[in-house]
Amino acid sequence: MKKLSTFQRIRELKPQLAIVFAASVLSRMTPHYTLYFEANDDAEQAPLAQHILQLVWQRLADPKQSFNLNVQIEKLEASLPDPATDTTFGVLPAVDAGLGLIAVLRFWQNVQDDAPVMVAKLAQGGVEAFLLATDIAEEYAQVQAITDEEEYDKANRVLNQHIKAHPLMMFETEWQNTLLDVLQNNKLSNQDLVQQCQQMAHETGITTLGIEL
């Protein structure tokens, strides 16, 4: 039997478990939002994403806990920096974290069913963008300079293999699948499962980009 991809496995989760998955991944993405605003001396904005994520966790642990989804969505949308005007790399992980959180909130509004998969893709895509700007930047530049279409396709396939095999990308995909194992096989109470997944994110010790938590 063909092994399911990470994204296929997420789609097979029950909605509640899929959002626990998304919140767990976002726990390792929202620090990028905080760091971006701290670096820009915006102490008021810096805690917003992690504050909203905490509201998400509270609602997951106890569905009776509610908050105004529209208000939080509006706050996040208004806060997101514009990559078109800010070209520092830190802006992209900050935007990814914000977009992932907005997607989760919209999931609860029944307007974005693909939110859990989107969060997983944002996390993995963020790692890829980071590698292309750092460890694999030289190889990426060489590939982009190739003018022959056949040679370009061949070199690009090799580049993609190197991205997938990089320790940071391997850690992210393996961690997401370990998290999915827990969610698919869990026999815990709702509150205990939420606590376990929060702990799993914390115990990695790093954000999705390898920054110490």
Instruction: Give the model confidence (pLDDT) of 32-53 as tens digits.
Output: 999 999 999 999 999 999 999 9
Distances (CA, A) of 23 to 19, 40, 73, 88, 154: 6, 26, 15, 26, 37
pTM passes above 0.85: yes
CB crowding 26-56: b at 16 or more within 10 Å, else e = bbbbbbbbbbbbeebeeeebbebbbebbebb
Instruction: Give the model confidence (pLDDT) of 123-137 as tens digits.
Output: 999 999 999 999 999
Q: Quick one: which of 131, 145, 41 has its CA closest to 92? A: 131
Q: In the prediction, which pLDDT does 116 show?
A: 97
Q: In the prediction, which pLDDT does 3 show?
A: 75
Sorted by where each starts, the structural domains of the chain and their CATH numbers stand as 13-118+187-203 (1.20.1590.10)
CA gap 213, 81 in Å, rounded = 22
- For 73, residues 6+ apart whose C-beta sits below 8 A from its C-beta are 102, 105, 106
Determine the average pLDDT of the residues in 185-189: 85
Instruction: Give the model confidence (pLDDT) of 137-159 as tens digits.
Output: 999 999 999 999 999 999 999 99
